[in-house]
Structure 1
Amino acid sequence: MKRRDVLTSTGAALLAGAAVASPAIAQSLPTIRWRATSSFPKSLDITYGAAEQFCRHVSELTEGRFTIQQFAAGEIVPGLQALDAVSNGTVEAAYTGMLFYVGKDPTFALTASVPFLMNPRQQHAWYYHGGGLAMTNAFFQKHNVYALPCGNTGMQWGGWFRKEIKSVGDLSGLKMRIAGLAGTIAARLGVVPQQIAPGDIYPALERGAIDAVEYIGPYDDEKLGFNKVAQRYYAPGWQEGGTVFHGVFNLAKWNELPPLYKKAVEVAAQAATTDMLAHYDQKNPEALMRLVAQGVQVSLFPQEVLERLYVEAEAYYKEVSATNPEFGRMLAHQREFQRKGNMYHQVADFQYDLMMLRLRRS
């Protein structure tokens, strides 16, 4: 037999073997259909859309064998009941912000964002390479869920206020929608915090049930119409230097998934995290320019206010750590990670940004 004939017949045999083997592998993978509830309305195209992207990628990576159908807040359960719905098995998955559940345990906030802690760069490094994923899921396991970062809003804004904030005294009696531990800390300065789901914030602000609101940033805040009711927009977002959103999965259902499906979920979630941050970085500057053109007054919080908030945050963290060891361990772990990051970036990225601001101004 000629050498060419040998190669041709061998190649044909390999192809035939591959044709048989591939379907056999595919047939071994089960068809799985999950439902996911969201804490967000469909009108918030980035936060709701990030989860849609995640679900789409999971389906594509598994060739349609594993699909997750997302439902908006209120379609299955209210937005702030998403975690409970996954924990008790009402649905297999959810897309939510863990800081919404500090009433169960303040440690939830540390997995998303707490005042005066990490920025998005530090959060991603901590989760993916600093041990954060294992530490947070050791905590989540107690609530019968497994969770993965699945979005980051970037630095949030300090909020919308009907009146000017000149001093700490101006916060006394102020009814404000403010999420997570930030509400607890702001309350120590006289704020009356309100925990309100995203889709319900504007009606509360419009009818005067609240006097101020912090949500995310210019793009989403504009879509929700806060500037139509309150014209004073404050920075910086002391309460959330960057907020991680999560894909949350019923623990038993997660453990049942084939390894390939778990990997698809992990890859899709990390892609959604990166994309959301990039999306906000593109949309927020444009939205801020539109808001300013409509008469919105952008202001910085007085230094006195920020310093008092910081002091109260430190006191609160000390108090909670004394009675909640898991909170204390996670806080200490994140703080050390933040300290190292800040030491580096004060002579790296921060100096570059300052340099560019000075050069542009000159």
Structure 2
Amino acid sequence: MKRRDFLKKAGIGAVAASTVFGPVYAQTAQRIRWRMATSWPRSLDTLFGAAEIVAKRVSEMTDGRFEITPFPAGEIAPGLQVLDVVQAGNVECGHTANYYYVGKSPSLAFDTGVPFGLNPRQQNAWLYFGGGLQAMQRVMADFNAITFPAGNTGVQMGGWFRREIKGPEDLKGLRFRIPGLGGQVMTRLGVTVQTLPGGEIFLALDRGAIDGAEWVGPYDDEKLGLNKAARFYYYPGWWEPGSTVSAIVNLERWRSLPKEYQEIFKTACREANEATLAEYDAKNSPALARLQRAGTQIRPYPTTVLQAANRESTALYEEIAAKDATYRGIYTSWKTFRDEIRRWFATNEFRYDDFVRNLR
């Protein structure tokens, strides 16, 4: 056979393969439809948007064969019960902040972030390359679920108050919305802590049921209208210096997925993790300027408050570690990672930040 004839026939064969086997694969590839419960109202287009990124990318990478429909908080599960419905198998997957479930295991706090912990880049470094994600997945397996980072808020703001906070004594007796280990630290500082989903914070603050509340940062807090219910806005959010939000999947449903779909889901989560942080970084600055023009009073937490909170945070960690072996193992490893990565950041990046922050 002449080379030209061979190539011509080979080309016909390639076309046949693309037009026959492609459709055959498409017809036989497994079709999957999942529901995703989330902890976010639809109005929070960054957090709910992170869930939508996961769903959109999974669908696009499977040519619509694997479709996930995200639902806002309250439609198929209350915002603070996403893990419960995923664990029970009532819904296939969820998008939430795993520190909401420290009542199930205090170790889950590390999956989102802990007071005076890691900033966003450090948190990602710990999860992806410091053994953090493997540790969190071992914990989540006890609750019939698997977890993947799928968004990060960046360093959060320190919350809204009806009156100024000039020292630790001003916190005593306040009713404040805050979840996770940060809430436990606030309790140790004399605060009466409440845990509310995002969609319920404004009414509680506006009606005086609480004296203050934290959520995320300028962009989301403006969306919730928190500036209309309180005047003083504090920083930094020392309890959430780089909060991860997560996609969680019922373990049986995860194991039933084809390997290819598992890898696609993980890739989509990683994209959401990166995109959400970048979106917050782009949107928070103009949102903060709008809040200030509207009359919000921006205040730094007094050093005495930060020092007291840091002392209580360290004491809390040590107390939990003394009682919970799983937590102790994660905390010990996490603390070593934290100290090492802080030394690197202090050597280079923190010095750069210190210099450029006052440049004009």
TM-score by length of 1: 0.97
1:330 and 2:335 are equivalent in the alignment: no
Alignment partners' CA distance in 2, 1:356 and 1:184: 35
Residue 177, structure 1, aligned to residue 177, structure 2: yes
Q: Which has the larger displacement, 58-67 or 342-351?
A: 342-351
Shift of residue 189 of structure 1? 0.9
Cα distance in structure 2, aligned partners of 1:332 and 1:28? 48
Distance 1:2 1:110 in 2: 67
Residue range with higher mean Cα deviation, 324-333 or 190-199:
324-333
Query: Hey, what does 2:42 align to over in structure 1?
Result: 42
Shift of 1:2: 3.8
Amino acid at match of 2:53: Q
Instruction: Work out the CA distance in 2 between the residues paired with 1:7 and 1:265.
Output: 39
In 2, the alpha carbon distance for the partners of 1:100 and 1:264 equals 27
Larger displacement relative to structure 2 (12-21 or 55-64): 12-21
Say whether the 8 Å CA contact 1:122–1:337 is kept in structure 2: no
Q: Check if 1:228 corresponds to 2:228.
A: yes
Deviations 1:323-361 (A, max 9, x none): 11111111222221121111111122212222212432x
- Residue type at the aligned position of 1:241: P
CA distance in 2, matches of 1:132, 1:19: 45
Q: Which consecutive unaligned segments of at least 5 residues does structure 1 have?
A: none
Q: Show the 5 A alignment for 1:293-312.
A: 293-312=293-312
Q: Structure 1 vs Structure 2: percent identity of aligned residues?
A: 45
Q: 1:214 and 1:17 mapped to 2: Cα distance?
A: 57
Note the residue ranges of structure 2 that are not aligned, 5 or more in a row: none
Alignment correspondent of 2:186: 186
- Contact 1:118 1:334 survives alignment (8 Å): no
CA contact (8 A) 1:36 1:93 kept: yes
Q: Which amino acid aligns with 2:98?
A: M
Local SS of the residue matching 1:269: helix
Q: Which residue of 1 aligns with 2:5?
A: 5
Distance 2:182 2:240 in 1: 8
2:113 corresponds to which letter in structure 1? Answer: S
CA–CA separation in structure 2 for the residues paired with 1:213 and 1:41:
17
Answer yes or no: is the 8 Å Cα contact 1:158–1:236 preserved in 2: yes
Aligned partners of 1:236 and 1:300 also within 8 Å:
yes
Match of residue 313 from structure 2: 313
Q: Distance in 1 between matches of 2:358 and 2:156?
A: 24
| Residue aligning to 2:51 | 51
Give the AA of the match of 1:341: I
> How far apart, CA to CA, are the structure 2 residues paired with 1:254 and 1:23?
26
- Structure 1 stretches of at least 4 aligned residues deviating more than 3 Å after TM superposition: 17-21, 23-28
Q: What do residues 226-275 of structure 1 show as CA deviations (whole Å, max 9, x unaligned)?
A: 11121111111111001100111000000000011101100100000000
Aligned residue identity for 1:153? T
Post-superposition shift, 1:141?
0.1
Distance of 1:24 and 1:130 partners within structure 2:
43
Shift in Å, 1:179: 1.4
* CA deviation map 1:8-56 (0-9, x unaligned): 1222223323443333433442111111111110010100111011101
Number of the residue aligned with 1:113: 113
Structure 2 residue identity aligned to 1:299: R
| 1:86 CA drift (Å) | 0.4
Alpha-carbon deviations, 1:117-154, whole Å to 9, x = none? Answer: 11100111111122222111011000000110000000
Counterparts of 2:246 and 2:359 in 1: how far apart (Å)?
A: 39
Is 1:279 matched with 2:279? yes
Matched residue SS, 1:84? helix
Q: Secondary structure at the match of 2:357?
A: helix
CA distance in 1, matches of 2:344, 2:5: 63
Q: CA deviation at 1:3?
A: 2.7
Q: Which residue of 2 aligns with 1:270?
A: 270
Between the aligned partners of 2:39 and 2:149, the Cα distance in structure 1 is 15
Which residue is 2:204 aligned to?
204
Question: Which residue is 1:157 aligned to?
Answer: 157
TM-superposition CA deviations, 1:159-182 (whole Å, max 9, x none): 111111111110110000011111
Cα deviations across residues 65-90 of structure 1 (Å, max 9, x unaligned)?
11111111111121111110000011
Query: Does structure 2 retain, via aligned residues, the 8 Å contact 1:151–1:276?
Result: yes
Provide the rounded CA distance (Å) in 2 between the counterparts of 1:202 and 1:351. Answer: 38
SS at match of 2:81: helix
**Secondary structure, aligned partner of 1:149:** strand
Aligned residues: 360
Partner Cα separation in structure 2 for residue 233 and residue 285 of structure 1: 14
| Equivalent residue, structure 1, for 2:141 | 141
